[in-house]
Amino acid sequence: MRAVIVALAASSALSLAPPALAARGVPCAFYGIDPGAPVDAGKVILDEERAEQLARAGAGAVRVEFLLDGAEAWDEDKLDAYEAIIDAVRGAGLEPLGLLSHRTLAEGQERWNDDPDGDGNNAYVEAFAETAEALMTRFAGDVVRWEIWSQPNCFEDPDYALDPENAGCTYILPRVLAQIFAQIRVRNEALFNVGELSLIAGGLLASDDAAAPFSGVDYLRELYEQPVLEELALRYDERTPWSYLGHQLFVSQFSEVDAVALGGTLDEVRELAEEEGDESPFFVTGMAWSSALVGEELQAANLTTSLELLSQRDDVAGVVWASFQDGPRDDRLYGLVDEAGAAKVAFAALRDEAAGCEPEQGGGTGSGGDGNGSSSGGVSGVPLPGTSGQGGRPIDGKRRDSSCSYAAGTPQGRGALPDVGWLALLAGAAIAIARSRRVI
């Protein structure tokens, strides 16, 4: 049926506080969790059991990273594995938030930041945009919101600006990221036109850690200055190709959260966005505190305080807790449950904070588990997924040659968009059918 769409569209854990009334009127999809890699060594980790655990924790949305998992390219077997993942997420009443990151393709930083002529376009950009188009087309109707990159302003080498190909972390040149956004926007015009695709500008890292401070302001300012975005604005009469400003908030990591500092971090970015005419709301795609650093009680208290603050802001569309479960090699311990699967205090805190949230009309995506907006659990611990989870098969496909139709500085067909009224009606009907019955 996705092919049809394309054709038509071209806890017994102790809570620190009683259930939060602030969740009343807040969409359930506002409360998200990042479960970690959805596949590992070919095995599907984010299966039906895991998705139900996330729903019981109070999640209404799940961040799903589309990663190659050691493969060289995407093929039908790998896509089928992600079909099962998305089915599991939606089957639990959760909204999948797609993430296309540096792990979506096999190449590394020396390839994506290879830009000697300074126009931001290269073979990696075109391959990334082509892959994004294929994934967004494949999952049209099931995944609407897609985060592009994650922590694009993160670097390890202080001389990252002089040697971006060896900057470390996930740093990507703003002009390269702008080209990625531009090419995704053009390639997926039909899905944008019928409201079935929206982009989150890669979660900019914000950290007040003295040893590794990061702010997204300077990076975002440089992103706004890219000529390719001006060309897109002329073509589509939109200030930006994204619908949300992604941010990852890691502040007050060693103490009680400073609400003023937390809000001030977003206020600083909002001031810049307003100067640039960008009214996009924030989407916090990562936020957490480590129980190893602050203890379980304060981890839960910080979760409650920050979610209450962010849910009361008119310019925040959603928040994703950065980890569901601590891993065996994880020294940060951001999870809501420990390595053995026992719920921490923060598990109940998130569930209570999301209690009373508003599901989508008719239930379904973002309604949280049973589709009625409640986040019931009542378990003293969350078991690890069984070892019989569905696994992906070997991947040996080859990437197709790039057929990019959007070159740097040469947008095609500027001007008014074509009349897509009839197309939107047909596509809407097809997507509704796809959501109830998938036929590939």
Predicted confidence (pLDDT) per residue in 222-269, tens digit? 999 999 999 999 999 998 999 999 999 999 999 999 999 999 999 999
Q: Which two tokens stand for residue 362?
A: 């008719």
Distance CA 353, CA 344 (A): 15
The pLDDT value recorded for residue 23 is 60
Q: What is the pLDDT of residue 337?
A: 98
Provide the number of structural domains found in the chain: 1
User: pLDDT by residue (tens digit) across 374-399?
Assistant: 333 333 333 333 222 322 222 222 22
Please, what is the average pLDDT of the chain? 82
Q: What is the mean pLDDT of residues 110-134?
A: 98
Strands 31-33 and 282-287: unpaired
pLDDT digits (tens, 9 = 90+) for 63-91: 999 999 988 899 999 999 999 999 999 99
- Residue 33: CB atoms within 10 A of its CB come to 26
Q: Using an 8 Å Cβ cutoff, are 3 and 10 in contact?
A: no
Range of the domain at 143: 2-436
pLDDT in the model for residue 414: 26
Q: How far is CA 194 from the centre of its chain?
A: 21
Q: What is the pLDDT of residues 261-299, one digit of tens each?
A: 999 999 999 999 999 999 999 999 999 999 999 999 999
- As a whole number of angstroms, the distance between CA 40 and CA 69 comes to 6
Length of the chain in residues, anyone? 440
Q: Long-range contact list for 429-437, CB < 8 A, 24+ apart?
A: 430/1, 430/4, 430/5, 430/8, 430/9, 430/141, 431/5, 431/140, 431/141, 431/194, 431/196, 433/1, 433/4, 434/1, 434/2, 434/4, 434/5, 434/140, 434/141, 434/142, 435/141, 435/142, 435/364, 437/1
Q: Tell me, what CATH number does 16's domain have?
A: 3.20.20.80
